[in-house]
Amino acid sequence: MTVTATSVDEPEQLEPQAAPASRGARRVRRLVPAAAATLSGVLLYVSFPPRTLWWLALPAFAVLGWALRDRTWKAGLGLGYLFGLGFLLPLLVWTGVEVGPGPWLALAVVEAVFVALVGAGIAMVSRLPAWPLWAAALWIAGEAARARAPFGGFPWGKIAFGQADGVFLPLAAAGGTPVLGFAVVLCGFGLYEIVRQVVDGRRTGVVRRGAAAVALLSVAVPVVGALAARSLVSDKAEDGTATVAVIQGNVPRSGLEFNAQRRAVLDHHARETERLAAKIKAGKVAKPDFVLWPENSSDIDPFTNPDARAVIDSAAKAVGVPISVGGVVERDGKLYNEQILWDPAKGALDTYDKRQVQPFGEYLPLRSLLGAINKNWTSMVRQDFSRGTEPGVFTMAGTKVGLATCYEAAFDWAVRDNITHGAQIISVPSNNATFDRSEMTYQQLAMSRVRAVEHSRTVTVPVTSGVSAVIMPDGKITQKTGMFVADSLVQKVPLRSSQTPATRLGILPEMVLVLVAAGGLGWSVAAVVRGRRNDPLQG
């Protein structure tokens, strides 16, 4: 009896000791992929400007590939969400500089949902042959969705926008931001697949040549494609040159309150233009063919306020050339964020109304709901801006200048539309005063560099207080200002009229990649259904 009792009791004593070890192992198995997904998202953020560590995007996606491969779609959903938060929370922190953490956190939490859905899809296709291809296409499909919804979309954080200093940049001229982003993501997943094939080969002693070839091609094709696309990048003048002046007038102080000092902001930009006129008269700089002011450089409507009109007119006469003025204009009871072509002799000749207005910044969706939550939010945007309907291409001293106002530079269609309407250079007038000294201005500057290569155009970036710059068609910055200083940039730039493949193809590369992603998902679902039919224990 004693022996029997002991033999029966022993398992009861050992079982409680084994259980915690098992639970601990399961916990580790869950936590390691979650930590890896989060940290790889942070790594992707570090690859973005103002840092020039573009190459960190590759190991970021390699680690994400490891975390997602062979997972269920539910696990992929959670891991993708953690990756999205790791990336977007630090990337978008500037959105809360003046309004507090609430809108910043809400934006990152919502945008990360798109990344979560992509993570679920990648987990599903990770069992397919050539899975890096399907996975990279899924990422671009996620970016395409994020650029369109909700409230008109939010493309900030596209992988392409982190590659202004990278070797893959020429691919922007071949197929735009979707092709550039696809190449980076494919290369990252391909790097992980190469490592996986090497490890599996050493463990099993078997080399799967087909899978190894796919892994190598996933890395080699984007790199070779980028090298080949360099022939599409040129800063040579096709239609002569133009001397352009970019004015950064600065603001009295940073923050949202600068809107209450509208006259001071206008005076700052007029004064800097007059300083430029004095430098021209003294022979210190060349006389420009035209001058570009930033967005919101005159928040006083010059069409209804004679004092604002007089200040702008005086500045234009002093410099003696046309000026593109960023104004806030009310017309027929509607408010517009407008660029105004101001001639020194004839006054206002043409206007461009911003078409892609910023939700929660220039208009408030769900205004009544937001007001119920926090009345301060609705008071910041008292009246919604209306959208323009026509592309903005000003003819300034014979040069066709395409206008993409601030937020519009993030949208593929908004910039391309200017080129197809004849723009020889692009101007991105912006106002970054509400974001203080955050990374926002550098992130936006990188977008403009990508756009320069994408469409092979000089891009000028006149900013109220951030970093104004002149960018050549090859994406190189030739001049730039400091932050929160009054300054002017004058430079002779090449005029170009030819269209890159990216310009001609437009949305087509993105559509193809979305179809590839859909094909991969369809194949994955079909494989699961076949597996259940063939296995009587399934489903």
Look up 295 and say whether it is catalytic.
yes
Residue type at 355 in one-letter notation:
R
Which of the 8 DSSP states describes residue 510?
H
Closest C-alpha to 58, from 163, 161, 149: 163
Judged by DSSP in three states, 60 sits in helix
- Residue 489's DSSP bridge partners are 246
Could you give the strand order of the β-sheet that contains 425-427, starting from the edge strand earlier in sequence? 393-396, 399-403, 425-427, 458-461, 469-471, 477-480
- Cis before 33? omega within 30: no
Backbone angles phi, psi at 198, to 5 degrees: -65, -45
From start to end of 345-387, where are the E strands? 347-353
Look up 362 and say whether it is catalytic.
no
Q: What is the DSSP string of 402-456?
A: EE--GGGGG-HHHHHHHHHTT-SEEE--B--GGGTTSTHHHHHHHHHHHHHHHHT
Residue 370 belongs to what H/E stretch?
Answer: helix 367-373
* Residues 42 and 87 sit within 8 Å (Cβ to Cβ): yes
Handedness of CA 175, 176, 180, 181 (dihedral sign): negative
Calculated CA dihedral for residues 149, 153, 157, 162, nearest 10 degrees? 120
Look up 354 and say whether it is catalytic.
yes
Instruction: List CB contacts of 284: < 8 A, sequence separation 6 or more.
Output: none
Strand 458-461 and strand 469-471: pairing?
antiparallel
CA-to-CA distance for 57 and 188, rounded, in angstroms? 7
Judged by DSSP in three states, 149 sits in coil
CA-to-CA distance for 515 and 280, rounded, in angstroms? 55
Among the options 354, 400, 408, 510, which is catalytic? Answer: 354
Closest C-alpha to 93, from 141, 129, 45: 45
- Residue 385's DSSP bridge partners are 335
Among the options 338, 406, 408, 439, which is catalytic? Answer: 406
Judged by DSSP in three states, 331 sits in strand
Closest C-alpha to 338, from 267, 263, 390: 390
Among the options 295, 338, 408, 439, which is catalytic? Answer: 295
CA-to-CA distance for 418 and 394, rounded, in angstroms? 10
* Orientation angle between helical segments 101-125 and 57-68, nearest 10 degrees: 60
Strand 241-248 and strand 290-292: pairing?
parallel
Please, what is the end-to-end C-alpha distance for the chain in angstroms? 48
CA-to-CA distance for 139 and 118, rounded, in angstroms? 6
Token pair 């076949």 in the structure block, residue: 530
Task: Please identify every residue annotated as catalytic.
Answer: 295, 354, 406
